[in-house]
Structure 1
């Protein structure tokens, strides 16, 4: 039996996951404090509700042993990114990883990043 496909996060959920990957396990207050500068529209109550919904979807695990629950991503960042990229390749690029890379290189990579990618491909640098 194949393993179930992990849930796909919304844009707002990805923002909170990014914060949690940076912070490590954190309370809703800590997550709110970390995101408040870039998203002042998110109240503490909204962050808490999003975290609760994400826990319900299986995107987060929650430690309920303390009064303030501590949330952590259910998947490591690289695993989530791999799943999202795989889905994007399948849906938008007809399964072609090469087409995805070429599209990214055409408009979303700086000259410095291109040089770094070239060095990696040429074997000059470890990733």
Structure 2
């Protein structure tokens, strides 16, 4: 049986957010992608974090080329589902309704509300 992957730290999740659109990338490419949001981010910090994430099983690494190429160990939607399930159990006693109501109370845009209403209407049909 596969043991579950560890939950990423906030810094690891931020790195994954930069890596998912790239699919797979070198540390240099991820660093460049992250510079837009964090202009002071050092390349060495990105490389070290990617090495740690590889050791934890959050990233897979292709070592066949001179520059190692990293990729997320699981797709974005799978990780989000796992994190959501954990949050649902820990913070909302397993109640999806309580989670959704809390999310709606935190303030969503009119566009987001319309999209949610459209999805709910399509579910009924």
* TM-score normalised by L of structure 1: 0.92
Report the Cα distance in structure 2 between the residues aligned to 1:79 and 1:123, rounded to whole angstroms: 23
Runs of at least 4 residues of structure 1 off by over 6 A?
none
1:92-126: CA deviations, max 9, x gaps? 001111110110011142111111110110118xx
Q: How many residues align?
A: 123
Q: Note the residue ranges of structure 1 that are not aligned, 5 or more in a row.
A: none
Q: Note the residue ranges of structure 2 that are not aligned, 5 or more in a row.
A: none
The residue number in structure 2 matching 1:18 is: 17
2:37 partner SS = coil
* TM-score normalised by L of structure 2: 0.94
1:57-81: CA deviations, max 9, x gaps? 0000000000000000000000000
Report the Cα distance in structure 2 between the residues aligned to 1:70 and 1:30, rounded to whole angstroms: 10
User: Alpha carbons of 1:91 and 1:39: their partners in 2 closer, same or farther (altered >3 Å)?
Assistant: same
The residue number in structure 1 matching 2:52 is: 53
Report the Cα distance in structure 2 between the residues aligned to 1:41 and 1:123, rounded to whole angstroms: 45
